[in-house]
Structure 1
Amino acid sequence: MEIVILPDAEAIGRLAADQICALLDRKPDAVLGLATGSSPLPTYDELVRRHDAGQVSFAGARAFTLDEYVGLAADHPERYLHVIERELTGRVDLDPSRVAGPDGLAADVPAACAAYEQAIADAGGVDLQILGIGTDGHIGFNEPGSSLASRTRIKTLTRQTRLDNARFFGDDLEAVPTHCLTQGLATIMSARHVVLVATGQGKAQAVHQLAEGAVSAMWPASVLQHHPHVSVLVDEAAASRLQLAGYYRETYLAKPSWQGL
């Protein structure tokens, strides 16, 4: 796991976009894993800027989203397929038929989850997965207590996660669904490269536990300590509880330029 401490969200977005553009340059048919939420937005905005400037194409790529609310109407603006279309996929040359998410309206939920796992496998697996992190350490919607070996499944959202997401529902907690379908922790761990982005003081404890705490279901993101290629991009506020922050800075400054993330 590599921890990179950067000045602000814009710098994080540029570095994350560098990795995605480099991937698409060497592998135009790459499979991207896309997260929603506020943390990846600077990355997506930077990718759109580069696409508009003719610096990157998504035409051959495929994308899979991490999760989906259960029970939201197909036309609800907060369905994650609609959200990711607004934030990224509808702003670049990525064919909508090549963007998939878990089916939150499925009549047979276990079958839909199994089909989603199979679709990712059939695509060859995720080359680069973008992640955010919740204040309680969740990634995707793998809440505290989630199995570290979990695959795509239905989960009940914690009150804290629903409170955190209420801003997308007019600050109405009751409008936030109580269930979701989410890629499991083992599903996320199958991605070849994970890029996790986090900003703000509110994420500091989660970032500390992710990088320096014990691997535990109480902090689901901590499972990433076992992944062979994880890049954690954080601003100064999100890094404020890291005990080895000085070492992480020295390591990144001394890193060979050819190595990349």
Structure 2
Amino acid sequence: MNIIVTANYEVLSETAANRIAEVIKNKPNAVLGLATGSTPIGLYKKLVTYNKENLIDFSRVTTFNLDEYIGIPASHTQSYRYFMDYHLFNHINIDYQKTHVPNGMAKDIQAECEAYDEMLRGHGGIDIQVLGIGNNGHIGFNEPGSALTVGTHVTELAQGTIEANSRFFSTREEVPTQAITMGIGDIMKAREVILLASGITKADIISRLLEDKIDTYIPASLLQAHPHVTVIVDQLAGQLI
């Protein structure tokens, strides 16, 4: 596991964007695994700039997002499809049909999970997966527990996750309590992983992540078993390393 501590969030975002740009230049039809949340916003802003400056071309790229809330439509301003369109897809030359986000409004959610995994397999897997990390160590919406699920599945969101997400909704009652998420197995199959963390609130979990042990109650710790992981943090998130 490679650790990069950057001077600030701007450098963190640029470092991650440069790596993704390199992957796309080396493989123009790359499959990207993407994440939502506040941390990757700077990364996506950089990628938009690179695309507008003709430094990278997304025309043959395919993307798969980690997760989506169950029960809110793609048009909802807090859906992850909306997030990706707003921050990235609407501003780059990507084929929109090649951008994949789970459908949280599917009539048959289990069938949606199975179809998502089938699409992942059909595209040959993910070349580089972007991850954030929750304060409790979740990646995607793989929450801490005694056991973790391999493939795409429905997950009950932890209370801490619901509380953290409530700031994005008008009332706490509006916050979804379930989501579709790629499983740990899906993430571990990616050929490369970059995990991003910014800010003092992530310092403790980043320190725990880098301890020499794997613990299902810190789902991100399973990344220690992955052969090609880079953790990119700013100074605040990395201060306990």
Alignment TM-score, normalising by the size of structure 1: 0.89
The aligned counterpart of 1:19 is 19
Greater alpha carbon shift after TM alignment, 101-110 vs 156-165? 101-110
The aligned counterpart of 2:68 is 68
Q: CA deviation at 1:54?
A: 1.3
For 1:228, give the aligned amino acid. P
Contact 1:153/1:181, CA 8 A, preserved across alignment: yes
Q: What do residues 132-183 of structure 1 show as CA deviations (whole Å, max 9, x unaligned)?
A: 000110000011116345211000111111111112213x221110000000
Q: Structure 2 CA distance, aligned partners of 1:112 and 1:147? A: 22
Q: CA deviation at 1:47?
A: 0.7
Q: Which runs of 5+ in 1 are unaligned?
A: 243-261
For 1:8, give the aligned amino acid. N
SS of residue matched to 1:162:
helix
SS of residue matched to 1:212:
coil
Q: CA RMSD in A?
A: 1.2
SS of residue matched to 1:223:
helix
For 1:13, give the aligned amino acid. S
For 1:219, give the aligned amino acid. I
The aligned counterpart of 1:240 is 239
Moved beyond 3 Å, runs of 4+: 146-149
1:34 matched to 2:34? The reply is: yes
Contact 1:147/1:185, CA 8 A, preserved across alignment: no
The aligned counterpart of 1:231 is 230
Q: 1:104 to 1:149 in 2, by over 3 A?
A: closer
Q: 1:233 to 1:200 in 2, by over 3 A?
A: same
Q: Structure 2 CA distance, aligned partners of 1:149 and 1:112? A: 16
The aligned counterpart of 2:10 is 10
Q: Structure 1 CA distance, aligned partners of 2:27 and 2:11? A: 24
Contact 1:148/1:223, CA 8 A, preserved across alignment: no
Greater alpha carbon shift after TM alignment, 217-226 vs 47-56? 47-56
For 2:203, give the aligned amino acid. A
Q: 1:105 to 1:209 in 2, by over 3 A?
A: same
For 1:78, give the aligned amino acid. Q
